[in-house]
Amino acid sequence: MAKPKKPKPIPNPKRKPGEPIPFSHPAEEAFARVLDFYETSWQHEPMTFPLEWDKKGRVIMAFTPDFYLVDEDLYIELTTMKQSLVTKKNRKLRLLHKIYPNVRCKLMYRRDIEDLAVKYGLFGNNDEES
């Protein structure tokens, strides 16, 4: 692995003003609603963190957390997968902490998201796939 001496995150392209956010799961949209309700400043997938490189220095694995909480300087990754299938995300999170020790990132599991959904009534009858 030809990792650069000082790996750097890659900014994701900015969306045009008014362009809708392409949430990949209803849980992301629901989480954004909670953040908005509490007037928390956030960004959706603003950075990609390279985690592995090939021998020529090309990125072969990266991690893009779902949210960045601006005032808390904290990235949040949501996972609604079955707990037995989150091994890959946990591995990426460990690599993120090893390569970028100053980057704070928290993984929120399905049960955390479901607890929020129940507490705040975030999923209506049409969104129960989470």
Architecture of domain 23-120: 3-Layer(aba) Sandwich (3.40)
For the stretch 60-101, pLDDT in tens is 999 999 999 999 999 999 987 766 668 888 899 999 999 999
Task: State the pLDDT at residue 83.
Answer: 63
**pTM to 2 decimal places:** 0.81
- Rounded Cα distance between 44 and 32, Å, is 9
Instruction: Check whether 124 has a pLDDT greater than 60.
Output: no
Q: Would residue 41 be called left, alpha or beta, if left means φ above 0 and alpha means ψ between -120 and 50 degrees?
A: beta
